[in-house]
Structure 1
Amino acid sequence: MKDVFFFNSMLTPKIITVVYWLLLISVIISGLGTMFTGFAGFWQSLVIIVFGCIGVRIWCELLIVLFKINDNLKNIADKE
């Protein structure tokens, strides 16, 4: 816990993982909700589910890459 308070350990990557799963569930529920309403239809809901899942994954990966870069730079600095 001390590492978190003194910023030696990053808390955000763990939060991003939880946010990823919550967003993934919400995209799937949104797509299924669109599928069963008579307004949009089956194909539009498939587009929402597929591209929503891909978009959420890309967004979370871009955020995680920043923290991976930080970890790698920290490892390089520790070697010197």
Structure 2
Amino acid sequence: MNNKIKFSDLTIKDFFFFNRMITPTFITIVYWIALFFIVIASLTMILGSFALFTYSFSAGLVTFFSGIVTFIAGFISTRIGFELICILFNINHNIEKLANEKTNSETQE
């Protein structure tokens, strides 16, 4: 999504009445923040599993593999979720283009 919003062109009316979408601009930032937290959570689980090995080998092993699964599943599910959000904005953009083309063709007739 390369829809860059020029904030100098954004009016108060556009902001309060949702005439222009600003969320697609922030999706990339939020995506990278989510990935950062997934990495932190999975590394915490993996490193914490080594402390559990001293008390219970099976609990440490389960926690270690849970950290790996959290890392992989977190990356995949986050990517899918954010792609679905991007698809919704692309659908909205395409519907707006179709509506504008229809109104332009009706005014020319």
| TM-score, scaled relative to structure 1 | 0.84
SS at match of 1:27: helix
Provide the residue aligned with 1:23 in structure 2.
34
Partner Cα distance (1:56, 1:4) in 2: 28
Q: Which amino acid aligns with 2:31?
A: Y
- Tell me what 1:33 maps to: 44
Q: Distance in 1 between matches of 2:92 and 2:37?
A: 30
What is the CA deviation profile of residues 16-70 of structure 1, one whole-angstrom value per residue up to 9, with x for unaligned ones?
22211111110011111111012411x2211111100111111111112111111
Alpha-carbon RMSD: 1.5
Identity over aligned pairs, percent: 37
Structure 2 residue aligned with 1:62, among 84, 102, 105? Answer: 84
Structure 1 equivalent of residue 97 of structure 2 = 75
**Bigger-Rg structure (1/2):** 2
Corresponding residue number in structure 2 for 1:9: 20
Q: Which has the higher contact order (CA 8 A, sep 6+)?
A: 1
Q: Secondary structure at the match of 1:37?
A: helix
Where does residue 68 of structure 2 map in the other structure?
Answer: 46
Q: How far apart, CA to CA, are the structure 2 residues paired with 1:76 and 1:23?
A: 34
Q: Which runs of 5+ in 1 are unaligned?
A: none
Instruction: Using structure 2 for the length normalisation, give the TM-score.
Output: 0.64
Cα distance between partner residues in 2 of 1:8 and 1:17 = 21
